């Protein structure tokens, strides 16, 4: 039977260290509840000594969630450890995570100490923590660059002092997978009391190797992995939860199993991205917008014949409704035929060839081909009346007073106008458009990116609208953010079947 792999989530601690990602207590509770529903085993809720707000968050999270172990971080400093213990007083099961730097760099240049004195501090800290809580985890900071013999002695000493989990961080993201795996193997083979503790991985992504290193650690005997949702964390980030969990699920030869409810991955990822104002790169493994999108002809043909030709994960397993076939100038007949048949045009043979030729000319001049473009390609079958056309947009906003907007759309062959107010001009424009649409659509994801850095820059807007449980993506680029937002919304509407608009 597979061993249990303990999933230690540090989104609310290491993840929250990212500039701009700081959350208030209510937001942290929302994230903690989402992580509990996802099935994480240990939830690192914060670093309580760092501020009164963080102390309060750890305490409130301890009250709000009951399934995961709640963990509080501290330095190897008695005051930190005492405050961490105090913050955990409402936790059903609390854990103190204390530790100290163990590499030559940290001992000499950060702590300005000696290996012997650092070992003494580590042991003292673990003993102090064990007097306050049952469960103590020790982190050997910068273990990835530590002298191996010293690391073995340190791990043995902290286990003897009462640590039940020993975390071996590659704090600087320096190790190669073979090197990190060898460190874990070294500890498993040389620490005399290792059976009394669980070894944990905590890898950073400075060389893009965090997931590979974590898996190497697991293959060599680690049974707890420290991860964050979407891989967020200090500098280049931490190991991403979704990558490790899905790698383990996809590779039965890794002899461990997790308790993660993988179907909740996508939703949890979105909740965290939204609350932390941290966009997910489109090509991010598992949770990126393009993780299940196929845009080139050979791949599209393969996926349409059998999804598994180009997908190793069923998108439903991570909570994504279905893969998407995106029409571009690199698409072939199979993808075009698929989209046309969804629109009610079952073309074959020379008829399909003829439309495909015209499609390629259009696709060379346009990055993304949607329903509107396909209908216009179909010429006499064109259903102009079914399309939404943005005829006019006017808006204004004043600091502290939100915004107002008027929008005129042509919809079903008829021109309609609407005005609305919102918390800013973009919100007001979207509200105006929604008032003109007979069916309910939910704006589920909204990303604005500037291409370079100037105030005269073109911005690119991506929106994901949900209608009857299905996602529709809209894109637009403009120098005017409000106009780009309106156009992206309309672009997504035009990708929906007629009855849903
Ligand atoms: C690898 C990680 O630790 S990841 C966690 C990183 N997260 C954070 O740092 C966020 C929370 N941190 C904080 O709020 C503050 O840094 C505090 C409250 C911990 C300390 O604040 P200050 O007392 O002002 O110290 P400051 O941050 O300037 O410097 C850190 C001090 O801790 C020491 N230190 C660093 N790590 C450890 C450790 N694990 N154990 C003991 N001492 C440590 C440093 O050597 C330095 O000591 P010095 O002032 O004697 O040189
Ligand atoms: C506190 C420890 C676990 C850490 O974040 C690191 O070493 O990167």
**Ligand closest to the CA atom of residue 168:** 2
Q: Is residue 149 part of a domain?
A: yes
Does the C-beta of 27 come closer than 6 Å to ligand 2?
no
Q: Which domain range does residue 473 map to?
A: 384-500
Give yes or no: residues 477 and 354 share one domain: no
275, 308, 340: which is the final residue of a domain? 275
354, 381, 408: which is the final residue of a domain? 381
Does the C-beta of 98 come closer than 6 Å to ligand 2?
no
Structure ipTM: 0.98
Does the C-beta of 494 come closer than 6 Å to ligand 2?
no
Structure tokens at 234: 């200090």
Give yes or no: residues 83 and 196 share one domain: yes
The rounded distance, in Å, linking the Cα atoms of 389 and 437 is 12
Q: Is residue 414 part of a domain?
A: yes
CATH number assigned to the domain comprising residue 201:
3.20.20.70
Residue 1: what pLDDT? 81
Q: Which of 434, 495, 435, 440 is nearest to 462 (CA)?
A: 495
Q: Is residue 284 part of a domain?
A: no
Give yes or no: residues 62 and 92 share one domain: yes
Q: Is-contact 290 320, C-beta < 8 A?
A: no
The strand order across the sheet containing 459-467 reads: 442-450, 459-467, 470-478
Does the C-beta of 139 come closer than 6 Å to ligand 2?
yes
Burial level of 151, CB count in 10 A (0-12/13-18/19+)? buried
DSSP-derived letter for residue 111 is S
The rounded distance, in Å, linking the Cα atoms of 67 and 39 is 8
Q: Is-contact 126 162, C-beta < 8 A?
A: yes
Give yes or no: residues 196 and 134 share one domain: yes
Give yes or no: residues 348 and 427 share one domain: no
Q: Compute the distance from residue 171 Cα to the ligand 2 centre, in Å.
A: 6
238 assigned ligand-binding residue: yes
Q: Nearest residue CA, atom 6 of ligand 2?
A: 171
Q: Nearest residue CA, atom 25 of ligand 1?
A: 50
Provide the 3-class DSSP secondary structure of residue 56. Answer: helix
Does the C-beta of 406 come closer than 6 Å to ligand 1?
no
Q: Is residue 354 part of a domain?
A: yes
Give yes or no: residues 133 and 40 share one domain: yes
Concatenated DSSP letters for 124-192? HHHHHHHTT-SEEEEEEETGGGS-HHHHHHHHHHHHHHT-SEEEEEETTS---HHHHHHHHHHHHHH-T
Alpha helices, H only, 378-459 = 425-436
Q: Which residue ranges in the chain fall short of pLDDT 70?
A: 380-386, 452-453, 498-501
The rounded distance, in Å, linking the Cα atoms of 269 and 367 is 27
Q: Is-contact 142 103, C-beta < 8 A?
A: yes
Residue 452: what pLDDT? 66
Q: Is residue 280 part of a domain?
A: no
The rounded distance, in Å, linking the Cα atoms of 213 and 227 is 12
What's the pLDDT tens digit per position in 37-58?
999 999 999 999 999 999 999 9
Give yes or no: residues 90 and 179 share one domain: yes
Give yes or no: residues 344 and 201 share one domain: no
Give yes or no: residues 299 and 408 share one domain: no
Give yes or no: residues 419 and 450 share one domain: yes
Q: Compute the distance from residue 56 Cα to the ligand 1 centre, in Å.
A: 19
Burial level of 363, CB count in 10 A (0-12/13-18/19+)? buried
| Residue 47 CA, closest ligand 1 atom number | 11
pTM above 0.80, yes or no: yes
CATH number assigned to the domain comprising residue 319:
1.10.238
Residue 412: what pLDDT? 75
What lies within 8 Å, CB to CB, of 437 at 6+ separation is 388, 411, 493, 501
Q: Is-contact 391 408, C-beta < 8 A?
A: yes
The count of structural domains within the chain is 3
Distance of alpha carbon 150 from its chain centroid, rounded?
36
Buried b (16+ CB within 10 A) or exposed e, 12-24: bbbbbbbeebebe
Q: Is residue 287 part of a domain?
A: no
Q: Ligand 2 pocket: which of 42, 96, 167 to mutate (most atoms <8 Å of CB)?
A: 167
Buried b (16+ CB within 10 A) or exposed e, 48-66: bbeeeebbbbbbbbbebbe
24 assigned ligand-binding residue: no
Give yes or no: residues 28 and 127 share one domain: yes
Residue 369: CA count within 13 A, CB half-sphere: 28
For the chain, the C-alpha Rg in angstroms (whole number) is 27
| Residue 238 CA, closest ligand 2 atom number | 8
| Residue 142 CA, closest ligand 2 atom number | 7
The rounded distance, in Å, linking the Cα atoms of 68 and 55 is 18
Concatenated DSSP letters for 296-327? SHHHHHHHHH-GGGT-SS-GGGGT----EE-B
CATH number assigned to the domain comprising residue 414:
3.30.160.270
Give yes or no: residues 199 and 267 share one domain: yes
213, 244, 275: which is the final residue of a domain? 275
Q: Compute the distance from residue 196 Cα to the ligand 1 centre, in Å.
A: 29
**Ligand closest to the CA atom of residue 17:** 1
Work out the widest C-alpha separation in the chain, in whole angstroms: 84
What's the pLDDT tens digit per position in 422-441?
999 999 999 999 999 988 89
Q: Is residue 13 part of a domain?
A: yes
DSSP-derived letter for residue 380 is G
Q: Is residue 282 part of a domain?
A: no
The rounded distance, in Å, linking the Cα atoms of 287 and 293 is 11
The rounded distance, in Å, linking the Cα atoms of 250 and 308 is 13
Q: Which of 460, 426, 455 is nearest to 282 (CA)?
A: 460
């Amino acid at each position: 039977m597979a061993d249990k792999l303990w999933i230690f989530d540090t989104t609310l601690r290491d993840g929250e260290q990212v500039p701009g990602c700081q959350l208030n207590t209510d937001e942290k509770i929302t994230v903690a509840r989402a992580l509990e529903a996802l099935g994480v085993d240990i939830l690192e809720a914060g670093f309580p000594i760092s501020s009164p707000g963080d102390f309060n968050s750890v305490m409130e999270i301890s009250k709000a969630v009951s399934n995961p172990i709640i963990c509080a971080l501290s330095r190897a400093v008695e005051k930190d450890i005492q405050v961490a213990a105090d913050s955990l007083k409402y936790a059903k099961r609390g854990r103190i995570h204390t530790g100290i730097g163990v590499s030559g760099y940290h001992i000499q240049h950060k702590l300005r100490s000696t290996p012997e004195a650092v070992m003494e501090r580590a042991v003292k800290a673990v003993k102090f923590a064990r007097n306050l809580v049952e469960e103590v985890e020790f982190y050997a900071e910068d273990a990835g660059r530590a002298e191996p013999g010293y690391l073995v002695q340190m791990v043995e000493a902290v286990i003897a002092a009462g640590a039940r989990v020993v975390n071996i961080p590659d704090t600087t993201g320096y190790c190669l997978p073979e090197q990190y795996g060898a460190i874990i193997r070294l500890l498993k083979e040389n620490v005399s009391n290792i059976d009394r503790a669980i070894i944990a991985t905590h890898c950073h992504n400075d060389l893009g190797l965090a997931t590979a290193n974590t898996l190497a650690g697991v293959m060599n005997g680690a049974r707890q992995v420290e991860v964050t949702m979407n891989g967020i964390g200090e500098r280049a980030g931490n190991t991403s939860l979704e990558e490790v969990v899905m790698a383990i699920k996809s590779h039965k030869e890794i002899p461990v199993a997790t308790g993660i409810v993988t179907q909740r991955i996508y939703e949890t990822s979105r909740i965290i991205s939204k609350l932390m104002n941290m966009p997910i790169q489109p090509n991010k493994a598992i949770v990126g917008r393009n993780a299940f999108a196929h845009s080139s002809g050979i791949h599209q043909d393969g996926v349409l014949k059998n999804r598994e030709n180009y997908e190793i994960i069923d998108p439903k397993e991570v909570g994504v409704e279905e893969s998407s076939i995106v029409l571009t100038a690199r698409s072939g007949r199979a993808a075009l035929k698929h989209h046309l048949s969804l629109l009610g045009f079952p073309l074959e043979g020379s008829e399909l060839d003829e439309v495909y030729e015209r499609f390629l000319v259009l696709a060379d001049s346009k990055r993304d081909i949607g329903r509107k473009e396909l209908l216009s390609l179909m010429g006499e079958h064109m259903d102009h009346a079914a399309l939404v056309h943005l005829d006019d947009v006017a808006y204004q906003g004043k600091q502290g007073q939100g915004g107002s907007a008027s929008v005129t759309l042509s919809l079903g062959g008829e021109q309609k106008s609407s005005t609305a107010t919102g918390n800013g001009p973009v919100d007001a424009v979207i509200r105006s458009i929604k008032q003109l649409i007979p069916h309910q659509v939910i704006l589920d994801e909204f990303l604005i990116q500037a291409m370079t850095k100037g105030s005269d820059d073109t911005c690119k807007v991506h929106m994901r609208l949900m209608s009857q449980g299905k996602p529709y993506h809209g894109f637009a680029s403009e120098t005017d953010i409000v106009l780009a937002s309106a156009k992206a919304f309309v672009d997504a509407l035009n990708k929906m079947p007629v009855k849903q608009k």
